[in-house]
Chains A and B, each alone.
Chain A
Amino acid sequence: MRRFKDSIYKWIFTALAFASLIFLLGIVIVLFREALPALKTTGFLDLVFGKSWYPTYSPPEFGILPLILASLWVTAGAMAVCVPLGVGSALYLHELASNRQKAILKPAIELLASIPSIVFGFFGMVVVAPFLQETFNLPTGLTAFTASLILGIMAIPTIASIAEDALSYVPPSFKEASYALGANRWQTLTQVVIPAAGSGISTAIILGMSRAVGETMTVLMVAGGAAVIPHSFFEPVRPMTSTIAAEMGEAATGSPHYAALFAIGLILFLITLVFNIVAEIISKRYRMKLGLSR
């Protein structure tokens, strides 16, 4: 009887363990199914490389290129902010912070990583955008630059804590060997520790990028929302995520607009999937290189 009960539990756990696989497959199926009408009528290439997004005109035009470019611009801008600051902070924590500083700063950074994106978006809208508008004398403060800045600040804690983890995995013997050869701390840091932790740091950066591409509320609130191919960082843009969030409310279920929004969702999903798989591969190699099993 006990053995029987035992095997029942085993089967229950096994079955429930597949839940995440089912949800992931479910997401893929739903996105494909609902995006299919748009892929069929507009065609995949015209959809992705179409230069105008006029979903409410008649006839409507569903070209996603301006939205994809906007996402890429904003993400690139965000990376320019968060990679130096995030990795720099991680290096400071690893190399220079005293134990007491570490004990305060590490949890603090983790805590800051939990600030909801809506709070960043709100801050960007009421404080940063008006400030930038005045300083640079712009027609509007809601621009690709503002979105990049806020997204970048938002991603710093994530990148800093993953990069710090990667640095801490570097065996102390690497450093000791370098010191023994007469290198100073800076030389050891830049020529031994950073290369050794390089793939871990790259994983942090890719995950940060993936988060920036997929981030919705912040860009919805501060990017300005003009669906045109971006020409300058100081103009409003409309990334993919904010298009879905802003327009899904008005698109009737099953309409071409609805299908086009799901198609954007599909492309977004595929982009982040690629980022995640790349991050996974790099981190696996890294762990093997340093002889860590898990």
Chain B
Amino acid sequence: MNENIIASAAIFKKKNNARNKIVQNTGFAILLLCIIITILFLGSIIYFVGVNGIKIMSWEFLTAPPRKAMTAGGIGPAIVGTFYLTIGAILFSLPLGLSCAIYLSEYSPKSIAVNVIRLSINNLAGVPSVVFGLFGLFVFVDYFHFGVSILSGSLTLGILVLPGIISASQEALMAIPQSLREASLALGATQWQTIKRIVLPAALPGILTGVILSIGRAAGETAPILFTAATFYARGYPDSALSETMALPYHIYALMTEGTHPEKQTMIAYGSALTLLILVLLISALAIIIRQRQRNKMV
């Protein structure tokens, strides 16, 4: 009797084991499928843009201004415009963001103020980009009378990337061992001297990573510059911070939605998309490599 129970339990367990094994293998196969589909999807975007964009790519395409109502010529002014907008955004957000990160990691007493600042950073990071565009339109374009300009666009993009710069810098500062600060303070250095000469240099690679990632983000954003900086067609290169400008991401949008020669414009849009894609991927890759090297050094 007992033996029977034991025997059937053993059979049951064996069956169960076999079933479990099948479930596990099926589950793992599905997970593998997930990552393969993900890679296929994302890879196909890069493939399509790459294969079609390369056809039109040339030195002239990258440097010349557009001609014949956007059906010929290049995207030079759009690349230059994106460059100005991005630099402007970082010039605005880096000092602000770094100061905020220094306050949070070096000076912050455990207080309500710190929690309020943290909360506002997190929420600012989640604001939709088109809402930043509305804010920029009202504040910079209309209220401060900067008009539709590189200045307005840069400031709007600057606010957009601010939370990212703060988080990355703060993380980099927090990773510096407390003993370094204590050693410096023990030698008679003031807190500012400690920050300037000890903490900031040590945190530099981390801060740099954040800045580079923000550059990539700012370069690719379209919605915030839609009403604050971008124009479909500029005769030449922008001549001051108050002139409106062409920009790479906006150029792609405009080519696909305006104008009268869809086929020719689509080819130029492919070229612009490939340029933007390469630019942003290279920038992000740089940031990831810097961070990886830093991590390896620390471990």
Contacts and interface: CB of A to CB of B under 8 A. Distances in A.
Interface of A: 2-3, 5-6, 9-10, 12-14, 16-21, 23-27, 30-31, 34, 84-89, 91-93, 95-96, 105, 107-112, 114-123, 125-127, 153, 156-157, 160, 184-187, 189-190, 207, 210, 213-217, 220-221, 241, 244-245, 248-249, 253, 261-262, 265, 268-269, 272-273, 275-277, 280
B138 to A, nearest CB: 5
Interface string B127-156: 111111111011100100000000000000
Contacts of B20: 184, 186-187
A153 B20 CA distance: 32
Given A19-B96, A107-B292, A190 B27 contact: yes
Given A115-B45, A216-B128, 20 more contacts: A5-B190, A5-B192, A9-B192, A16-B96, A18-B117, A92-B31, A111-B284, A111-B288, A114-B280, A114-B281, A117-B222, A118-B249, A118-B252, A216-B223, A244-B133, A245-B223, A245-B226, A269-B127, A272-B128, A277-B123
A30 B128 contact: no
A85 B42 CA distance: 12
A17 B107 CA distance: 11
B159 to A, nearest CB: 5
Given A5-B192, A21-B116, A26-B139, A126 B104 contact: no
A276 B142 CA distance: 30
A89 B38 contact: yes
Contacts of B226: 245, 248-249
Contacts of B31: 88-89, 91-92, 95-96
B126 A275 contact: yes
A248 B227 contact: yes
Contacts, number: 262
B273 interface: yes
Given A122-B273, A249-B227, A244 B134 contact: yes
26 contacts: A12-B99, A13-B107, A14-B107, A16-B100, A17-B103, A19-B100, A20-B163, A24-B127, A89-B38, A105-B35, A107-B292, A110-B284, A115-B45, A118-B253, A119-B45, A123-B273, A126-B256, A127-B48, A156-B41, A186-B28, A217-B222, A217-B223, A248-B137, A262-B134, A268-B131, A272-B127
A218 B2 CA distance: 68
A252 to B, nearest CB: 12
Contacts of A268: 128, 130-131
A94 to B, nearest CB: 9
A46 to B, nearest CB: 22
Main secondary structure of the interface of B (DSSP, over half): helix
A122 B269 contact: yes
Contacts of A23: 120, 124, 135, 159, 162
Interface in B268-286: 269-270, 273, 276-277, 280-281, 283-285
B38 A156 contact: yes
A273 B122 CA distance: 10
Contacts of A95: 28, 31
Task: Tell me which of B20, B33, B42, B166 has the highest count of chain A C-beta atoms within 10 A of its own C-beta.
Answer: B42
A265 B130 contact: yes
Contacts of B166: 20
Contact of A88 (B35, B104, B121, B190): B35
A189 B20 CA distance: 13
